[in-house]
Amino acid sequence: MERLYSPWRSQYIETYDKMEGCFLCEAAKHPEEDEKRLVLYRGEKAFIIMNLFPYNAGHLMVVPYKHTGDFLQLDMETLCEISKLTQLSIKALKIALKPDGFNLGYNLGRVAGAGLEDHIHEHIVPRWNGDTNFMPVLADVRVISQDLREIYKKLKKTINQIEGEDVE
């Protein structure tokens, strides 16, 4: 029998119920630590951050600076910027990682799968043909095929290159 190890998952599992404060608010407050906290881009009302515990390689989140778990509390400017940053994220992922598709969405409330209920965020999960396999179903294991920090460097460079362009 082969064993696959994903030690980064144990950090999440062991600290899940012990987390104090909001890691997204902490990331927002510390621009000098963007690389450490995996923040790729900062807008006026929202920012793009990589998921430290991804569902797939390149899993990003677009996060409003406003700490709220209620989607209805977001103003129109924030909603528009989230959409703009979603487009920027998709464009960067297409260039840097060349996925075949994407899953986009919010998990609003614990029953909907929200790991962090009090600070909403949109997930952008790149997908590739053939990336669905038996591991998550049978073994409750997800195989991430690329290093998180290498993906960060690649996406940061790509976003910096397209930052001045209009997002189509």
What is the residue-averaged pLDDT of the chain? Answer: 83
Q: Is 1 part of a structural domain of the chain?
A: no
Q: What is the CATH number of the domain that holds 123?
A: 3.30.428.10
User: By percentage, how much of the chain surpasses pLDDT 90?
Assistant: 59
CA distance 120 to 112: 12
Q: Is 127 part of a structural domain of the chain?
A: yes
What integer pLDDT is reported at residue 134 of this predicted model? 43
Strands (E), the chain: 39-42, 46-50, 60-64, 101-105, 122-127
Q: Is 65 part of a structural domain of the chain?
A: yes
Q: Is 10 part of a structural domain of the chain?
A: no
* Domain count within the chain: 1
Q: Is 47 part of a structural domain of the chain?
A: yes
pLDDT at 97 over 80: yes
What integer pLDDT is reported at residue 18 of this predicted model? 57
Overall average pLDDT of the 13-36 stretch: 82
Choosing from 30, 59, 67, 121, the catalytic residue is 121
121 carries an active-site annotation:
yes
User: By percentage, how much of the chain surpasses pLDDT 70?
Assistant: 77
Where do we find the tokens 């990682």?
97
| Residue range 118-153, pLDDT digits in tens | 999 999 999 998 766 444 443 444 555 678 888 999
CA distance 50 to 62: 9
Full domain range(s) for residue 96: 21-159
* Whole-prediction pTM: 0.78
